[in-house]
Amino acid sequence: MMTNSTSLIDSLEVYVLNNPDETKPHWVSHFIVPTANELLIKIKNKNGNSGFGMATSYTDISPIIKPFSNGLEDFIIGEDPFCPEKIYEKIFKLTDTRISSEKGWSKEALIRISAALDIACWDLVGKSLNIPLYKLFGGYRNKVPVYVTCGYYQEGKSESKLREELKKLIEIGHQSFKVKVGGLSIKDDAKRLEIVRDEIGQEKDLMIDVNRAWNLKTAIEGVKEFERFKPTWIEEPLRWEDDRRTLKFLSKQTSIPLSGGESEITTYGCRSMIEEDAIQILQFDCTMFGGFTNGKKLSALCELNHIDIAPHHDCFIHAPLVASTPAGRIVESFDDERDPLQAQLFENSHKMNNGWIYLNEKPGLGLEISETALKKFGKLVYKNK
Protein backbone atom coordinates (compact mmCIF):
# COMPACT_ATOMS: atom_id res chain seq x y z
CA MET A 1 0.00 0.00 0.00
CA MET A 2 1.36 3.37 -1.03
CA THR A 3 1.57 6.04 1.67
CA ASN A 4 1.44 9.75 0.91
CA SER A 5 4.73 11.12 2.22
CA THR A 6 3.09 14.34 3.34
CA SER A 7 0.99 12.40 5.86
CA LEU A 8 4.02 10.95 7.68
CA ILE A 9 5.21 12.30 11.03
CA ASP A 10 7.57 15.13 10.20
CA SER A 11 7.75 17.11 13.44
CA LEU A 12 8.21 15.85 17.00
CA GLU A 13 8.29 17.89 20.21
CA VAL A 14 8.57 16.45 23.71
CA TYR A 15 7.91 18.33 26.95
CA VAL A 16 7.98 17.52 30.63
CA LEU A 17 5.12 19.05 32.60
CA ASN A 18 5.79 19.86 36.26
CA ASN A 19 4.12 22.17 38.77
CA PRO A 20 6.41 25.09 39.69
CA ASP A 21 4.18 26.11 42.60
CA GLU A 22 4.79 24.70 46.06
CA THR A 23 1.92 22.70 47.52
CA LYS A 24 1.51 20.69 50.68
CA PRO A 25 2.19 16.99 49.87
CA HIS A 26 -0.85 14.89 49.01
CA TRP A 27 -0.45 11.49 50.65
CA VAL A 28 -2.43 8.39 49.85
CA SER A 29 -2.05 5.32 52.06
CA HIS A 30 1.71 4.97 51.62
CA PHE A 31 3.09 7.39 49.02
CA ILE A 32 2.88 10.98 47.81
CA VAL A 33 1.13 11.68 44.51
CA PRO A 34 2.64 14.44 42.35
CA THR A 35 0.49 17.41 41.47
CA ALA A 36 1.96 17.37 37.96
CA ASN A 37 4.52 14.99 36.47
CA GLU A 38 3.68 14.23 32.86
CA LEU A 39 5.24 13.75 29.45
CA LEU A 40 3.68 15.70 26.58
CA ILE A 41 4.32 14.61 23.00
CA LYS A 42 3.33 16.82 20.04
CA ILE A 43 3.47 15.49 16.48
CA LYS A 44 2.80 17.06 13.10
CA ASN A 45 3.00 16.01 9.45
CA LYS A 46 3.79 18.00 6.29
CA ASN A 47 0.06 18.37 5.63
CA GLY A 48 -0.08 20.53 8.75
CA ASN A 49 -2.12 18.03 10.74
CA SER A 50 -1.10 17.83 14.39
CA GLY A 51 -1.87 15.91 17.55
CA PHE A 52 -0.71 15.60 21.12
CA GLY A 53 -0.65 12.90 23.75
CA MET A 54 0.32 12.65 27.39
CA ALA A 55 1.88 10.11 29.71
CA THR A 56 1.56 10.19 33.49
CA SER A 57 4.36 9.20 35.87
CA TYR A 58 4.25 8.83 39.65
CA THR A 59 8.02 8.28 39.77
CA ASP A 60 11.11 10.14 38.54
CA ILE A 61 10.38 11.16 34.96
CA SER A 62 14.05 11.33 33.91
CA PRO A 63 14.17 7.72 32.56
CA ILE A 64 11.15 8.52 30.37
CA ILE A 65 12.97 11.50 28.85
CA LYS A 66 16.24 9.64 28.24
CA PRO A 67 15.24 7.75 25.07
CA PHE A 68 14.77 11.06 23.25
CA SER A 69 18.40 11.94 23.92
CA ASN A 70 19.88 8.88 22.21
CA GLY A 71 17.90 7.80 19.22
CA LEU A 72 14.28 6.92 19.92
CA GLU A 73 13.11 9.68 17.59
CA ASP A 74 14.46 7.60 14.68
CA PHE A 75 11.69 5.07 15.37
CA ILE A 76 9.00 7.79 15.22
CA ILE A 77 9.91 10.34 12.52
CA GLY A 78 8.66 9.13 9.15
CA GLU A 79 5.96 6.85 10.56
CA ASP A 80 2.36 7.12 9.43
CA PRO A 81 0.18 8.50 12.27
CA PHE A 82 -2.87 7.07 10.52
CA CYS A 83 -1.55 3.63 11.50
CA PRO A 84 -1.51 3.96 15.31
CA GLU A 85 -1.69 0.20 15.89
CA LYS A 86 1.53 -0.26 13.92
CA ILE A 87 3.35 2.59 15.68
CA TYR A 88 2.23 1.46 19.12
CA GLU A 89 3.48 -2.06 18.52
CA LYS A 90 6.79 -0.77 17.14
CA ILE A 91 7.58 1.32 20.23
CA PHE A 92 6.12 -1.11 22.78
CA LYS A 93 8.06 -4.06 21.37
CA LEU A 94 11.34 -2.22 21.88
CA THR A 95 11.01 -3.39 25.49
CA ASP A 96 12.18 -6.84 24.31
CA THR A 97 15.09 -5.77 22.11
CA ARG A 98 18.85 -5.58 22.47
CA ILE A 99 18.89 -1.93 21.42
CA SER A 100 16.80 -0.89 24.43
CA SER A 101 19.30 -2.58 26.73
CA GLU A 102 22.30 -1.07 24.98
CA LYS A 103 20.83 2.42 25.09
CA GLY A 104 19.42 2.20 28.61
CA TRP A 105 15.78 2.57 27.61
CA SER A 106 13.79 1.21 30.53
CA LYS A 107 10.68 -0.89 30.07
CA GLU A 108 8.54 1.62 31.97
CA ALA A 109 9.86 4.49 29.85
CA LEU A 110 8.99 2.77 26.57
CA ILE A 111 5.54 1.80 27.85
CA ARG A 112 4.78 5.40 28.86
CA ILE A 113 6.15 6.82 25.60
CA SER A 114 4.18 4.35 23.48
CA ALA A 115 1.00 5.42 25.30
CA ALA A 116 1.56 9.17 24.82
CA LEU A 117 2.55 8.73 21.18
CA ASP A 118 -0.51 6.58 20.50
CA ILE A 119 -2.84 9.22 21.96
CA ALA A 120 -1.11 11.87 19.82
CA CYS A 121 -1.65 9.77 16.69
CA TRP A 122 -5.36 9.35 17.41
CA ASP A 123 -5.69 13.08 18.11
CA LEU A 124 -4.07 13.83 14.75
CA VAL A 125 -6.35 11.33 12.98
CA GLY A 126 -9.45 12.89 14.49
CA LYS A 127 -8.33 16.42 13.64
CA SER A 128 -7.42 15.52 10.07
CA LEU A 129 -10.83 13.87 9.57
CA ASN A 130 -12.57 16.74 11.39
CA ILE A 131 -14.35 14.37 13.76
CA PRO A 132 -14.27 14.14 17.59
CA LEU A 133 -12.64 11.00 18.94
CA TYR A 134 -15.71 10.07 20.95
CA LYS A 135 -17.55 9.68 17.65
CA LEU A 136 -14.64 8.04 15.86
CA PHE A 137 -14.43 5.46 18.68
CA GLY A 138 -18.16 4.68 18.68
CA GLY A 139 -20.15 7.77 19.63
CA TYR A 140 -22.28 6.15 22.32
CA ARG A 141 -22.99 9.53 23.97
CA ASN A 142 -21.54 13.03 24.17
CA LYS A 143 -21.31 13.38 27.95
CA VAL A 144 -19.93 11.30 30.83
CA PRO A 145 -20.32 11.36 34.62
CA VAL A 146 -17.34 12.68 36.58
CA TYR A 147 -16.25 12.26 40.21
CA VAL A 148 -13.71 14.17 42.25
CA THR A 149 -10.91 12.52 44.22
CA CYS A 150 -10.39 14.18 47.58
CA GLY A 151 -9.72 13.49 51.25
CA TYR A 152 -5.97 13.06 50.85
CA TYR A 153 -3.85 12.73 53.96
CA GLN A 154 -2.01 16.00 54.61
CA GLU A 155 -0.01 17.27 57.54
CA GLY A 156 -2.19 19.33 59.83
CA LYS A 157 -5.39 18.40 58.03
CA SER A 158 -7.97 18.58 60.80
CA GLU A 159 -11.61 17.52 60.79
CA SER A 160 -12.61 21.11 60.08
CA LYS A 161 -10.20 21.27 57.12
CA LEU A 162 -11.70 18.09 55.69
CA ARG A 163 -15.19 19.51 56.06
CA GLU A 164 -14.08 22.77 54.44
CA GLU A 165 -12.60 20.86 51.49
CA LEU A 166 -15.82 18.91 50.95
CA LYS A 167 -18.01 22.01 51.22
CA LYS A 168 -16.00 23.70 48.45
CA LEU A 169 -16.32 20.68 46.19
CA ILE A 170 -20.06 20.49 46.80
CA GLU A 171 -20.40 24.20 45.99
CA ILE A 172 -18.62 23.60 42.67
CA GLY A 173 -21.30 21.05 41.86
CA HIS A 174 -19.63 17.67 42.33
CA GLN A 175 -22.03 14.77 42.84
CA SER A 176 -19.56 11.90 43.39
CA PHE A 177 -16.58 11.80 45.76
CA LYS A 178 -13.65 9.41 46.10
CA VAL A 179 -11.83 9.47 49.44
CA LYS A 180 -8.44 8.06 50.42
CA VAL A 181 -8.12 5.45 53.17
CA GLY A 182 -5.50 2.90 54.20
CA GLY A 183 -3.02 5.29 55.80
CA LEU A 184 -4.66 4.98 59.22
CA SER A 185 -6.34 2.20 61.13
CA ILE A 186 -9.73 1.08 59.91
CA LYS A 187 -11.28 2.65 63.00
CA ASP A 188 -9.65 6.04 62.34
CA ASP A 189 -10.41 5.95 58.63
CA ALA A 190 -14.04 5.16 59.50
CA LYS A 191 -14.16 8.41 61.49
CA ARG A 192 -12.99 10.29 58.40
CA LEU A 193 -15.63 8.57 56.27
CA GLU A 194 -18.29 9.53 58.81
CA ILE A 195 -17.31 13.15 58.26
CA VAL A 196 -17.48 12.70 54.49
CA ARG A 197 -20.93 11.12 54.57
CA ASP A 198 -22.11 13.80 56.97
CA GLU A 199 -21.05 16.53 54.55
CA ILE A 200 -22.08 15.03 51.21
CA GLY A 201 -25.27 13.34 52.48
CA GLN A 202 -26.65 9.94 51.63
CA GLU A 203 -27.67 10.60 48.03
CA LYS A 204 -24.29 11.47 46.54
CA ASP A 205 -21.91 8.70 45.51
CA LEU A 206 -18.96 7.84 47.74
CA MET A 207 -16.01 5.80 46.51
CA ILE A 208 -13.24 4.54 48.80
CA ASP A 209 -9.62 4.22 47.57
CA VAL A 210 -7.17 2.10 49.56
CA ASN A 211 -4.26 2.38 47.09
CA ARG A 212 -3.23 -1.26 47.73
CA ALA A 213 -2.55 -0.80 51.44
CA TRP A 214 -4.33 -3.80 53.00
CA ASN A 215 -3.57 -7.49 53.31
CA LEU A 216 -6.50 -9.85 52.80
CA LYS A 217 -7.36 -10.15 56.49
CA THR A 218 -7.44 -6.38 56.95
CA ALA A 219 -9.39 -5.95 53.72
CA ILE A 220 -12.13 -8.32 54.89
CA GLU A 221 -12.34 -6.35 58.12
CA GLY A 222 -12.34 -3.07 56.19
CA VAL A 223 -15.15 -3.90 53.77
CA LYS A 224 -17.34 -5.09 56.62
CA GLU A 225 -16.73 -1.88 58.57
CA PHE A 226 -17.20 0.39 55.55
CA GLU A 227 -20.41 -1.22 54.25
CA ARG A 228 -22.38 1.20 56.43
CA PHE A 229 -21.13 4.09 54.28
CA LYS A 230 -22.78 2.54 51.19
CA PRO A 231 -19.73 2.95 48.94
CA THR A 232 -20.18 2.84 45.18
CA TRP A 233 -16.93 0.89 45.03
CA ILE A 234 -13.78 0.11 46.99
CA GLU A 235 -10.68 0.69 44.89
CA GLU A 236 -7.41 -1.25 44.94
CA PRO A 237 -7.95 -2.64 48.45
CA LEU A 238 -5.18 -5.26 48.38
CA ARG A 239 -1.40 -5.25 48.32
CA TRP A 240 0.34 -5.59 44.99
CA GLU A 241 2.05 -8.95 45.35
CA ASP A 242 -1.06 -11.12 44.90
CA ASP A 243 -3.84 -8.64 44.38
CA ARG A 244 -5.56 -10.37 41.46
CA ARG A 245 -6.09 -13.59 43.38
CA THR A 246 -6.90 -11.94 46.70
CA LEU A 247 -9.35 -9.56 45.01
CA LYS A 248 -11.25 -12.63 43.89
CA PHE A 249 -11.32 -13.94 47.48
CA LEU A 250 -12.39 -10.54 48.81
CA SER A 251 -15.20 -10.18 46.28
CA LYS A 252 -16.81 -13.27 47.82
CA GLN A 253 -16.81 -11.58 51.24
CA THR A 254 -18.64 -8.37 50.28
CA SER A 255 -21.44 -6.97 48.17
CA ILE A 256 -19.43 -3.77 47.59
CA PRO A 257 -18.13 -3.62 43.99
CA LEU A 258 -14.34 -3.78 43.73
CA SER A 259 -12.26 -1.80 41.26
CA GLY A 260 -8.66 -1.79 40.08
CA GLY A 261 -6.31 -1.67 37.13
CA GLU A 262 -4.45 1.64 37.34
CA SER A 263 -1.36 -0.02 38.83
CA GLU A 264 -1.03 -2.54 36.03
CA ILE A 265 1.69 -1.73 33.49
CA THR A 266 0.16 -3.55 30.52
CA THR A 267 -3.24 -4.40 29.14
CA TYR A 268 -2.41 -8.04 29.78
CA GLY A 269 -2.41 -7.40 33.51
CA CYS A 270 -5.87 -5.87 33.20
CA ARG A 271 -7.03 -8.86 31.18
CA SER A 272 -5.88 -11.14 33.99
CA MET A 273 -7.93 -9.19 36.52
CA ILE A 274 -10.99 -9.71 34.36
CA GLU A 275 -10.23 -13.41 33.89
CA GLU A 276 -9.92 -13.87 37.65
CA ASP A 277 -13.44 -12.46 38.12
CA ALA A 278 -11.68 -10.17 40.56
CA ILE A 279 -13.31 -6.81 39.85
CA GLN A 280 -16.53 -5.21 38.71
CA ILE A 281 -14.97 -1.93 37.54
CA LEU A 282 -11.74 -1.62 35.52
CA GLN A 283 -9.60 1.51 35.99
CA PHE A 284 -6.88 1.31 33.38
CA ASP A 285 -5.01 4.50 32.46
CA CYS A 286 -4.40 5.17 28.76
CA THR A 287 -1.69 7.70 29.70
CA MET A 288 0.27 5.15 31.70
CA PHE A 289 -0.05 2.15 29.39
CA GLY A 290 -1.80 1.15 26.21
CA GLY A 291 -2.86 4.50 24.81
CA PHE A 292 -6.22 4.67 23.06
CA THR A 293 -5.36 1.73 20.82
CA ASN A 294 -5.42 -0.63 23.77
CA GLY A 295 -7.90 1.39 25.78
CA LYS A 296 -10.43 0.61 23.05
CA LYS A 297 -9.60 -3.09 23.28
CA LEU A 298 -10.02 -3.15 27.05
CA SER A 299 -13.29 -1.25 26.75
CA ALA A 300 -14.64 -3.85 24.34
CA LEU A 301 -13.43 -6.67 26.57
CA CYS A 302 -15.15 -5.09 29.56
CA GLU A 303 -18.38 -4.62 27.66
CA LEU A 304 -18.40 -8.30 26.68
CA ASN A 305 -17.70 -9.31 30.29
CA HIS A 306 -20.27 -6.95 31.89
CA ILE A 307 -17.60 -4.83 33.57
CA ASP A 308 -17.65 -1.02 33.67
CA ILE A 309 -14.68 1.16 32.79
CA ALA A 310 -13.74 4.13 34.97
CA PRO A 311 -10.25 5.16 33.81
CA HIS A 312 -7.69 6.55 36.23
CA HIS A 313 -6.66 10.24 36.05
CA ASP A 314 -6.74 12.80 33.19
CA CYS A 315 -10.49 13.21 32.87
CA PHE A 316 -10.35 15.31 29.69
CA ILE A 317 -8.06 12.80 27.96
CA HIS A 318 -10.18 9.80 28.93
CA ALA A 319 -13.61 11.37 28.41
CA PRO A 320 -13.79 10.63 24.64
CA LEU A 321 -13.07 6.93 25.23
CA VAL A 322 -15.55 6.59 28.10
CA ALA A 323 -18.21 8.42 26.07
CA SER A 324 -17.69 6.10 23.11
CA THR A 325 -18.80 2.82 24.71
CA PRO A 326 -21.72 1.36 26.68
CA ALA A 327 -19.13 0.10 29.17
CA GLY A 328 -18.09 3.68 29.98
CA ARG A 329 -19.12 4.54 33.52
CA ILE A 330 -17.33 7.63 34.82
CA VAL A 331 -14.07 9.63 34.76
CA GLU A 332 -11.87 10.97 37.56
CA SER A 333 -11.19 14.63 38.31
CA PHE A 334 -9.29 16.63 40.92
CA ASP A 335 -9.38 20.06 42.48
CA ASP A 336 -7.03 22.77 41.21
CA GLU A 337 -4.43 22.25 43.94
CA ARG A 338 -4.15 18.50 43.42
CA ASP A 339 -4.01 18.78 39.63
CA PRO A 340 -3.34 22.27 38.25
CA LEU A 341 -2.87 20.82 34.74
CA GLN A 342 -6.54 19.81 34.65
CA ALA A 343 -7.51 23.39 35.43
CA GLN A 344 -5.00 25.26 33.27
CA LEU A 345 -3.46 23.16 30.48
CA PHE A 346 -6.23 23.48 27.90
CA GLU A 347 -7.71 26.57 26.28
CA ASN A 348 -11.06 24.87 25.68
CA SER A 349 -11.58 22.12 28.25
CA HIS A 350 -14.73 20.08 27.91
CA LYS A 351 -17.40 21.69 30.07
CA MET A 352 -17.75 20.19 33.56
CA ASN A 353 -21.03 20.88 35.33
CA ASN A 354 -23.08 19.28 38.10
CA GLY A 355 -21.34 15.91 38.00
CA TRP A 356 -21.01 15.62 34.22
CA ILE A 357 -18.43 16.37 31.54
CA TYR A 358 -19.97 17.57 28.29
CA LEU A 359 -17.70 16.88 25.34
CA ASN A 360 -17.29 19.67 22.84
CA GLU A 361 -17.57 18.95 19.14
CA LYS A 362 -14.02 19.95 18.26
CA PRO A 363 -12.15 17.27 16.29
CA GLY A 364 -9.72 14.78 17.81
CA LEU A 365 -9.41 15.08 21.57
CA GLY A 366 -11.32 18.35 21.23
CA LEU A 367 -8.62 20.14 23.22
CA GLU A 368 -6.11 22.90 22.47
CA ILE A 369 -3.07 23.35 24.68
CA SER A 370 -2.73 26.76 26.30
CA GLU A 371 0.59 28.37 25.39
CA THR A 372 0.48 30.27 28.68
CA ALA A 373 0.14 27.00 30.61
CA LEU A 374 2.85 25.36 28.51
CA LYS A 375 5.25 28.16 29.42
CA LYS A 376 4.34 27.79 33.09
CA PHE A 377 4.41 24.01 33.43
CA GLY A 378 6.40 22.80 30.43
CA LYS A 379 10.06 22.23 29.71
CA LEU A 380 11.01 21.35 26.14
CA VAL A 381 13.30 18.29 26.23
CA TYR A 382 13.36 17.35 22.54
CA LYS A 383 12.52 18.97 19.22
CA ASN A 384 13.62 17.52 15.89
CA LYS A 385 13.47 20.79 13.97
| CATH at 11 | 3.30.390.10
- Torsion, Cα 251 257 258 259, to 10 degrees, reads 150
Count of C-beta atoms within a 10 Å radius of residue 278? 23
Residue 244 has pLDDT above 60, yes or no: yes
In a domain, residue 87? The reply is yes
Identify the pLDDT of residue 171.
97
Q: Please indicate, yes or no, whether residues 231 and 352 belong to a single structural domain of this protein.
A: yes
DSSP per-residue codes, 86-99: HHHHHHHGGGGSHH
Q: Looking at the structure, do residues 245 and 316 belong to the same domain, yes or no?
A: yes
Residues 16 and 159 occupy one common structural domain:
no
Residue 1 pLDDT greater than 80, yes or no:
no
Together in a domain, 268 and 350: yes
Mean pLDDT, rounded, for 279-290: 98
Asked whether residue 269 is assigned to any structural domain, the reply reads yes
**Looking at the structure, do residues 232 and 340 belong to the same domain, yes or no?**
yes
My answer on whether 267 and 349 are in the same domain is: yes
Assigned domain for 365 exists: no
Q: What is the model's pLDDT at position 5? A: 85
Supply the pLDDT for residue 151.
Answer: 98
Q: What is the CATH number of the domain that holds 331?
A: 3.20.20.120
- Give the C-alpha distances (Å, rounded to integers) separating 115 from 4, 47, 243, 251, 265: 25, 24, 24, 31, 11
Q: How far apart are CA 235 and CA 293, in angstroms?
A: 25
pLDDT tens string 40-78? 999 999 999 999 999 999 999 999 999 999 999 999 999
What's the confidence (pLDDT) of residue 202?
A: 96
- Mean pLDDT value of segment 101-114: 97
Say yes or no: 124 and 247 in one domain. no
Average confidence (pLDDT) over 98-112: 97
**Structure confidence at residue 3 (pLDDT):** 65
Query: Is 106 in the same domain as 189?
Result: no
The reply to whether 165 and 270 lie within a common domain is yes
Instruction: Assess whether 163 and 254 both reside in one domain.
Output: yes
CA distance 370 to 40: 13
Torsion angle (degrees, nearest 10) of CA 315, 320, 325, 327:
-10
For residues 172-188, give the mean pLDDT.
98
pLDDT band at 149 (very low <50, low <70, confident <90, very high): very high
Query: Which helix or strand (DSSP H or E) is residue 318 part of?
Result: helix 315-323
Helix axes 186-200, 216-226, angle to 10 degrees: 30
Question: How many other CB atoms are found less than 10 A from the CB of residue 308?
Answer: 22
Averaged pLDDT, 370-378: 98
Which segment of 205-209, 242-246, 329-333 scores lowest on mean pLDDT? 242-246
Q: Look at residue 172 and tell me if it is in a domain.
A: yes
Say if 364 falls within a structural domain: no
Kindly give the pairing relationship between strand 143-150 and strand 176-180.
Answer: parallel
* Residue 385: predicted pLDDT: 73
Is the per-residue pLDDT at 35 higher than 70?
yes
Task: Please give the tally of structural domains in the chain.
Answer: 2
Residues 163 and 300 in one domain: yes
Domain extent at residue 331: 135-358
Would 363 be classed as within a structural domain?
A: no
Percent of the chain whose predicted confidence (pLDDT) is above 90: 97
User: Mean pLDDT across the stretch 366-375?
Assistant: 98
Based on the fold, state whether residues 89 and 233 are members of the same structural domain.
no
Helix axes 216-226, 243-251, angle to 10 degrees: 40
Q: Residue 2 pLDDT more than 70? A: no
